Amino acid sequence: MPLALLVLALSSFAIGTTEFVIMGLLPEVAADLSVSIPQAGWLVTGYALAVAIGAPVMAISTAKLKRRTALIALMAFFIAGNLLCALASDYWVLMIARVVTALCHGAFFGIGSVVAAGLVAEDRKARAVALMFTGLTLANALGVPLGTAIGQAYGWRATFGVVTIIGIVTISGLIAILPRDKQQENGSILREIAALRNGGLWLALSTTVFFAASMFALFTYIAPLLRDVTGVSPEGVTWTLFLIGLGLTIGNLVGGKLADWRLGATLAGVFAAIAITSIAFSYTSRFFIPAEITLFLWAMASFAAVPALQVGVVGFGKDAPNLVSTINIGAFNTGNALGAWVGGLVIDAGLDLTRVPLAAALMALIGLGATALTYLSARGRAALAPAE
- Model confidence pLDDT, tens digit, residues 172-211: 999 998 887 654 544 556 666 666 676 778 888 899 999 9
Write the single-letter amino acid at 262: R
Q: What is the DSSP letter of 354?
A: G
Residue 36 in 3-state DSSP?
coil
Residue 208 near residue 49, CB atoms below 8 Å: no
Nearest CA to 148 out of 159, 137, 135, 161 is that of 159
pLDDT of residue 316: 76
Write the single-letter amino acid at 27: P
pLDDT band at 76 (very low <50, low <70, confident <90, very high): very high
Architecture of domain 189-388: Up-down Bundle (1.20)
| Cα-Cα end-to-end distance for the chain | 26
pLDDT at position 386 over 50: no
pLDDT at position 121 over 90: no
> Does the 1-180 domain belong in CATH 1.20.1250.20?
yes
pLDDT of residue 106: 82
**pLDDT, tens digit, 9 for 90 and up, residues 310-343:** 777 777 766 666 677 778 877 887 888 899 889 9
Residue 112 near residue 70, CB atoms below 8 Å: no
pLDDT at position 288 over 50: yes
**pLDDT, tens digit, 9 for 90 and up, residues 10-46:** 999 999 999 888 878 888 999 999 988 888 888 888 8
Give the integer Cα–Cα distance in Å for 294 and 292: 5
Q: How many of the other CB atoms lie within 10 Å of CB of 6?
A: 16
Residue 17 near residue 147, CB atoms below 8 Å: yes
pLDDT of residue 212: 92
pLDDT at position 306 over 50: yes
In the chain, % of residues over pLDDT 90 = 36
pLDDT of residue 388: 41
What is the SS3 string spanning 166-201? HHHHHHHHHHHHCCCCCCCCCCCHHHHHHHHHCHHH
pLDDT band at 127 (very low <50, low <70, confident <90, very high): low
- Domains in the chain: boundaries: 1-180, 189-388
> Mean pLDDT over residues 101-108, rounded?
86
Q: pTM of the full predicted structure?
A: 0.74
User: Phi, psi at residue 145, to the nearest 5°?
Assistant: -65, -40
pLDDT at position 379 over 90: no
pLDDT at position 138 over 60: yes
Which of the pair, 35 or 137, is modelled with greater confidence? Answer: 35
* Alpha helix ranges (H) inside 34-155: 37-61, 67-87, 91-102, 105-118, 125-138, 144-154
Q: Is 189-388 the same fold as 1-180?
A: yes
